[in-house]
Chains A and B, each alone.
Chain A
Amino acid sequence: MGCTRREFIKYSAAMAALTFLGYGCGRKEAEATPDTWVKGVCRFCGTGCGVMVGVRNGKVAMVKGDPNNHNKGMLCLKGALLASVINSPDRLTTPLIRKGGTLVKATWEEALDLTATRFKQTLEQFGPKAVAYYGSGQALTEESYLANKIFKAGLKSNNVDGNPRLCMASAVGGYVSTFGKDEPMGSYEDMDSANCFFIIGSNTSECHPILFRRLAARKQSDPSVKIIVVDPRLTNTARIADLHLPVVPGTDLALMNAMAHVIFNEELDDSKFHGKYVSFKAMVDGKPVEKSLEDYRTFLADYTPEKAAAICSVPAESIVQAAKLFANSSATMSLWCMGLNQRIQGVWANNLVHNLHLITGKICKPGSTSFSLTGQPNACGGVRDTGSLAHLLPGGRLIANQEHRNQMEEIWGLPKDSLNPAPGLFTTAMFAALGDTVRAMLVLCTNPAQSLPNVKKYTANLKKSTKFLAIIEAFADAETLKYADVVFPAAFWCEREGVYGSGERRYCLIEKAVASPGEARPSVNILLDLATRMGVDPKLIPFKNSADIWEEWREISAKSAYNFKGMTRERLRKTSGLLWPCPTEDHPGTKIRYSRGDDPMVPADHPDKYFFYGNPNGRANVWLRPHKPAAELPDAEYPFILTTGRVIDQWHTGTMTNKVPEIRKAFPAAFVEVNQEDAKRLGIANGDNVRLDTRRGSLVLSARVGEVCRPGLVFAPFYDAQKLVNELTVDAVDEASKQPEFKICAVRVSKA
């Protein structure tokens, strides 16, 4: 026996060592050699990095950067770890129906029938205003285009909105009111030739790491490149800046008007450019009125650097220096994101960035451009361009414009004047009406129960029994599932084929690499099935798959400034993305819009070099926008400002990034960043629990004390579903863009 036992121990000893080798290293090496590589686009932010998906045994084994796309093979950590997301055990694999308060498994027939019946009943009983679709900047272009068409043309309901309302509606408003057409005029390539970067309201380092890398590399290669960062936090972006302006949140309008003031005062403006290509405008009694250069200068006279310095709480010299750096460089590129967009003056703030470029002529030239960064991978291509918002129709058309409606009626083969002429409900209004005037809602590929501002107010409506909520979702742990009546399991990312349009107008095809798990189906097929059962005219939806929808949308685009008729499916399959306008199949795509010789929409024989064809007079608008403060300012009761945002490895509501063990380990729970001076005063040490109270709710978070936030400001990320920071945020919206002011609310901070 003794011998056998000792043998057993020796065997155990050998197994202990071998198990470690077998599971520790051997498996990894096997995984690292995929059978095939399939081209696609990263699922995360709006940078839209090209990826190559490595498939082994029908599963995504690994993801690497596409060397032929703009990211030149680089990815950030999130993108590189996408395999863990798609292979997550938390994927939804069967339809679910709520029965007796809990979601139970159901068949596709049951789920589709129930949803179609409830929508049909609602339409019959309450009319088209009672149904709604809430989409996403993460859905494929084909999905958004189809849903938009089903609801607006099929059901005659304009209640079609989406989460881009929360993230870039103000950027749309800014581009449209200044240039007449949406979307930036430049491309990421401008980063390689810009000599000055004006980054305002964007933590590029955390939120768009690959673009940050590109601009950091640009600065490293040429020490004369200057970076100006305007951000109330000393972010990692601000740390590489030559000039950091930690302004009080919500004072950017005063800052940029003061910069314009300095530019004119120092005669750094480009009078040749703004004399020829710019018209000055102001809103008077709610109507746009023509103004002159003199009016503009009189308006700016009020914004001396000293006055702005007092409002923004930064030195006047810094403002002067920023204006000089901006105007004196050979090429200036502005970058901004949620810091400007998620504001009740979001559109105005966007206008003022464009103003700076227009008065200095630093626009539509290589390296000179005003470039809005995007948070979601397909907000630009999928939602903005297809017009899947409550006030839009495809190709930059407006619902309120009869001519635009008639164009779309003709294109879609509808009787004249049959489209609903009243714009639908925008995001917060839609959720506010849920259960009341909106009775049935379909949500695609987004998680509003976590991402809406002042979210408790809206989840109260989501709980109402008078509403019917169907969602198309890939993950079983998304917060919104708690409120859904029907859940459709969706094919995720490269489990189906479709187009993503990134922040630089680049359309890129995600090819199908693997099969979806269980019974999950592509959202396009779910939408088509639902539409058919709801009785939508089959002539409107003659599609079998996303390629059919792309063909229709591509043809339609030729009748707008978004013209990408040259981007056939075949061509997209061969290339790593193309930038529109791209009118013909031999057109290489457009890097600079509004410029003769670059933009195919500007006639080759146009008399002027630049042509802002979006506006009737061919000129861009410089808007006179006065400074206005945020909706909720700190006071004696709530003395701090709370701002929200992202951390590097987590993305949005964390339903995807939390599937990655490496990321979950590094960023487990939300925290609150407190300035060290404030912390000392309040007796808060690093790691202490801190209680945040706003007028809407309270939350306890662990403190991260440091110099990042300016005094009087606290920051919390919104990825953590256990700590819903959006229960604290304010839901006041920009009057023009209807985008909520996530970025600023008053808060009380105390040690818990």
Chain B
Amino acid sequence: MIYEQMLRPPGARGEREFLKRCIQCGQCGQICPYGSIVFEAGFNPETFGTPRIAPRRVPCYLCMRCPPVCPTEALLPVTAMARADMGIARIDKSRCYTYEGSIFCKTCHEKCPLRNQAIVMEKGLFPVITEACVGCGVCENVCPRKAILTIPKARLAAARDRWDGGGA
């Protein structure tokens, strides 16, 4: 379900716990200097008004200003970029210019807030996203080929549940 798959601001708890705690006060969106945080519209009362990030529009630049202002700790008060834990980015190698092999592009690497940790240039030649990726969506935003997708933590968890359920 699409509602389970939103990219939440940095420090967000697991989706179920996050939704329990989030009181839709909007303070995280107010403090965000980049306008990265938008509030969910729609007709699901559970998710209406909750903060999310749409990386293709404006990604999260990991300034880490929003987690401490959350009054209910729906966002854990983390301040280290490496602990933002929003999700993980994935490169579609069949679309990526560099993997495709005709254009040498490394914009994602250059713009990654955790450059050389979350995205490394393997042997100087190919961008590789590592486990250190926190899913801020900057690479998805700047990719000239739209070859990167940020997978929210919630979707990862949902997928894990499906796999753990014996492949049902």
Contacts and interface: CB of A to CB of B under 8 A. Distances in A.
Q: Do chains A and B touch in the complex (CB under 8 A)?
A: yes
B128 to A, nearest CB: 13
Interface string B104-116: 1111011101011
A74 B104 contact: yes
Given A686-B63, A706-B115, A76 B103 contact: yes
Interface string B94-106: 0001000111111
Interface in A199-227: 205-206, 209-210, 212-213, 216-217, 219-220
B116 A239 contact: yes
A666 interface: yes
A234 B146 CA distance: 29
Interface stretch (B17-25, B118-126, B129-137, B160-168): B118-126
A239 B124 contact: yes
Given A77-B107, A209-B106, A649-B107, A217 B115 contact: no
B156 to A, nearest CB: 26
B14 interface: no
A77 B61 contact: no
B142 A665 contact: yes
A73 B102 contact: yes
B63 A687 contact: yes
A446 to B, nearest CB: 26
Nearest to B62: A686
Interface string A654-665: 000000001101
Contacts of A648: 106-107, 110
Interface in A660-699: 662-663, 665-667, 685-687
Interface string A228-240: 0000000011011
B81 interface: yes
A210 B104 contact: yes
B33 interface: yes
Nearest to A76: B104
Nearest to B105: A77
Contacts of B103: 65, 74-77, 79-80
A81 interface: yes
Nearest to A64: B102
Contacts of A210: 104
A205 B123 CA distance: 12
Interface in B47-76: 61-63
Contacts of B141: 665
B35 interface: no
Contact of B125 (A64, A77, A220, A687): A220
Contact of B124 (A73, A75, A212, A649): A212
Contacts of A79: 103
Nearest to A213: B104
B110 A77 contact: no
A38 interface: no
B97 A687 contact: no
B63 A236 contact: no
Interface string B137-168: 00001101000000000000000000000000
Contacts of A649: 107, 110
Contacts of B113: 686
Interface string A69-113: 000011111011100000000000000000000000000000000
A602 interface: no
Contacts of A219: 123-124
A647 interface: yes
Contacts of A80: 97, 102-103, 105
B83 to A, nearest CB: 14
A236 B97 contact: no
Contacts of B142: 662, 665-666
A209 B142 CA distance: 18
A686 B102 CA distance: 34
B62 A216 contact: no
A77 B97 contact: yes
A236 to B, nearest CB: 6
A209 B104 contact: yes
A663 B63 CA distance: 22
B102 A65 contact: yes
B126 to A, nearest CB: 10
A525 B55 CA distance: 48
A397 B116 CA distance: 48
Instruction: Name which of A64, A648, A685 has the most chain B CB atoms within 10 A of its CB.
Output: A648
A58 B63 CA distance: 46
Contact of A647 (B62, B81, B110, B125): B110
Contacts of B124: 205, 212-213, 216, 219, 236-237, 239-240
Contacts of B115: 706
A240 B105 CA distance: 17
Given A77-B103, A77-B107, A213-B104, A687 B33 contact: yes
Contacts of B123: 216, 219-220, 240
Contact of B105 (A76, A237, A667): A76
16 contacts: A64-B102, A75-B104, A76-B103, A77-B104, A209-B104, A210-B104, A216-B124, A216-B125, A220-B123, A236-B109, A236-B110, A237-B124, A647-B110, A649-B107, A685-B63, A686-B113
Given A219-B124, A239-B121, A686-B113, 19 more contacts: A73-B102, A75-B104, A76-B104, A76-B105, A77-B144, A205-B106, A205-B124, A206-B110, A213-B125, A216-B123, A216-B125, A239-B124, A662-B144, A663-B144, A665-B141, A666-B107, A666-B110, A685-B63, A686-B63
Going nearest first, the 5 A-B pairs with the smallest beta carbon separation are A216-B124, A662-B144, A666-B142, A240-B124, A77-B105
